[in-house]
Structure 1
Amino acid sequence: MNAPLVDISSVSHRFGQQTVLKNVSLQIEPGSYTILLGPSGSGKTTLLSILGGFVSPSEGKVFIRGEDCTSVPPAKRPTTTVFQDYALFPHMSVGANVGFGLRMQGVDGATRAAKAREALALVGLASAFDKKPHQLSGGQRQRVALARALVVEPAVLLLDEPLGALDLKLRRQMQDELKAIQKRVGTAFIHVTHDQEEAMALADHCVVMNDGRIEDEGPPERVYARPSTRFSATFMGESTILSGTVTEAKNGTISVATPAGAIMLPGTLQPGAKVALAVRPEHLVLVAAGGAVALGTAEVSDVVFQGSFKRVLATSTVDPALQFIAKAPASASVQTGDNVAVSCDAGDFILLTH
């Protein structure tokens, strides 16, 4: 088995008395697009700063290409960083901005210019070489920052919320372009965001962080469909959460007592075990469905039209603390105040033990 490109080993970090990273270990494979996903304060930006060499960890090691880079300064390690604010030099042309890293490496002017033109062509800005940054749109400036980072051919490209300053349409467009560029150049990208949709659009390796720890990691399809923890189930997309207790277990099946009634599903937990059952919005059905698990009735409290579907919030009539989140077809006639029957196929429950 090949060694990972990046190996973060038992990294912890403190700012004064506050511990912001708690014994984090993570491996990044060559050619992968890794997303560090989490809320503000989860430690994702600190971890990226440690990878880039801008922060030295309080404990632990960072290996890149098998070499210990824990104390290596940013300019000496095989990484480059793209920041949210682009950090372009306003007095320099676009070409000079892109070639700046090569200039710092002592590359001659002609080679710099040629490589800068290649990098700009890669991001679709071949004609912008002689322009100044203020003549470009926000999306174009983001692409210049990307070209400047890629021109020095880093082993790992670090992206700190690079699309956060863009409007929604441009952000979606840049997501598509980022993914295409990453596939073309084959460099490993590590990208910090708090946007779950961005994570699912870009990543082939998704790392969900919370309170300085890694909650879950894997392909985004798996993290979404079968999250490992309750936090992951509610942060990587939305979920209805049913708290429950295992009351019976035999022949690989458990019975879980929940506010919506007893639910049978595959499992080997012991009676008395506290669990949570998560259901994704697209798996909740707002009518009684034959063969599905009935979850009782609920009163619709909110309906939001979102184009291809309606997002429906409904409160259980049995337990007011139980809130259902469902996706109904855009054509559904459901309205606020309606009483609806709620059901779900047994195979769509996600069993969470922590």
Structure 2
Amino acid sequence: MSAPVVSIRNLSHAFGALTVLHELSLDIQPGEYVVLLGPSGSGKTTLLSILGGFLQPTNGAVLIDGRDCTHMPPAKRPTTTVFQDYALFPHMSVGANVAFGLRMNGVAKAERQRLARETLALVGLKQVLDKRPHQLSGGQRQRVALARALVMKPRLLLLDEPLGALDLGLRRQMQEELKAIQKRVGTAFVHVTHDQEEAMALADLLLVMQDGRIVDQGNPERVYTQPSTRFSATFMGENTLIDAEVTEISGTTATLRTALGTLALDRPGIRKGKATLTVRPENLRLGTAPSGRVSLGSGEVAESVFQGSYRKAVVRTGSGGDILLKLPVDMPVRIGERVEVHAEPRHIGLLQE
């Protein structure tokens, strides 16, 4: 593996007596799209601000290409930032907005105009060079802000909820465009969002944050299907959590006792004691468990609601709590019907925090 673009070492930050980041350490690889995901107050924007030089950490260090940039001001470090409100100059043309940073760096007029045109073409906006920001749509303004950041050829591009002001359809379109642009330019991106779908669509590396800590990290599929903590299991979409206890271990196979019955799972590194099973609603099915699938017990259908692309159902198991399912629309279930619930072993997460 090549040397990281960014190394964060034991980073902490406090506002007075309130600590908002706790001893974070992280490496960001060249060309990696990193997404910081978490609720308000989790510390993701504070971390982004420290990476951009807008905040000084209380402790720790930020290294970019091996150089200590911890106390370097924003204009001096090899980073640029795209803000949620775009921060475009309304009195300047689009071309002048994109070229502004180059002008501040003393780049000759002809060269900065050439680079502005090239970068606007990269984001699909070469036709708006002479327009003013107020003449553009929200999605176009977002792409102008992205071009203004990319034209500086940063080693690290920071995006602070850049799609938050867009409507749903445009947001999804811009997710695809952002990912495609990032892969073309090869710059490492760090993107802040509280939108789980956006995070999974964009991230190579997904960092789930809670109370100033990174509580889960990995590729989006792993974090979603096999979360490392109860928080990431519930924050990353809907999930059913089942309390369990590991009573026996034979090789990598664990026997677990739950309120829904006893089951066996093959999991390396497991230990005896308390555990939590997690299973996503779309990975559950009804009926007698066929060979190779794990029964999660039975219960009574308490809810069955048509949701367009799927049917949402809740099975009430009594002492085992409720199990949430997303079923095919052509699988009607009746309220009060007694059913059995099962899943594939690979779709059952197991937490031991």
Aligned to 1:62: 62
Deviates further, 163-172 or 262-271: 262-271
CA distance in 2 between counterparts of 1:249 and 1:298 reads: 28
What secondary structure, in the 3-state scheme, does the structure 2 residue paired with 1:325 have? strand
5+ residue gaps, structure 2, are none
CA distance in 2 between counterparts of 1:179 and 1:304 reads: 34
Aligned to 1:308: 309
Aligned to 2:294: 293
> Shift of residue 335 of structure 1?
4.8
Please list the CA deviations of residues 51-75 of structure 1 after superposition, one character each: whole Å capped at 9, or x if unmatched. Answer: 0000000000000011000000001
CA distance in 1 between counterparts of 2:29 and 2:271 reads: 38
TM-score computed with the length of structure 1 as normaliser: 0.94
CA gap of 1:336–1:196, structure 2 versus 1, over 3 A, is farther
The aligned amino acid for 1:129 is: L
Aligned to 2:126: 126
8 Å contact from structure 2 (residues 260, 298) kept in 1:
no
CA distance in 1 between counterparts of 2:43 and 2:5 reads: 21
What secondary structure, in the 3-state scheme, does the structure 1 residue paired with 2:87 have? coil
> Shift of residue 184 of structure 1?
0.8
Of all paired residues, the percent bearing the same amino acid is 62
Aligned to 1:328: 327
Deviates further, 125-134 or 232-241: 232-241
TM-score computed with the length of structure 2 as normaliser: 0.95
1:350 aligns with 2:316: no
> Shift of residue 112 of structure 1?
1.6
For residues 86-101 of structure 1, what are the structure 2 equivalents within 5 Å?
86-101=86-101
CA distance in 2 between counterparts of 1:302 and 1:16 reads: 48
1:183 aligns with 2:183: yes
Aligned to 1:277: 277
Please list the CA deviations of residues 282-307 of structure 1 after superposition, one character each: whole Å capped at 9, or x if unmatched. Answer: 22112223233332333334444444
CA gap of 1:171–1:304, structure 2 versus 1, over 3 A, is farther
1:341 aligns with 2:348: no
Aligned to 1:22: 22
CA gap of 1:90–1:299, structure 2 versus 1, over 3 A, is farther
8 Å contact from structure 2 (residues 36, 192) kept in 1:
yes
For residues 195-214 of structure 1, what are the structure 2 equivalents within 5 Å?
195-214=195-214
> Shift of residue 337 of structure 1?
4.7
The aligned amino acid for 1:312 is: A
The aligned amino acid for 1:275 is: A
8 Å contact from structure 2 (residues 42, 209) kept in 1:
yes
> Shift of residue 270 of structure 1?
4.6
CA gap of 1:335–1:106, structure 2 versus 1, over 3 A, is farther
The aligned amino acid for 1:308 is: S
What secondary structure, in the 3-state scheme, does the structure 2 residue paired with 1:142 have? helix
The aligned amino acid for 1:298 is: G
Aligned to 1:220: 220
Please list the CA deviations of residues 95-140 of structure 1 after superposition, one character each: whole Å capped at 9, or x if unmatched. Answer: 1111111111111222121111111111111111111111111111
CA distance in 2 between counterparts of 1:192 and 1:203 reads: 11
What secondary structure, in the 3-state scheme, does the structure 2 residue paired with 1:282 have? helix
CA gap of 1:106–1:301, structure 2 versus 1, over 3 A, is farther
CA distance in 2 between counterparts of 1:152 and 1:253 reads: 53
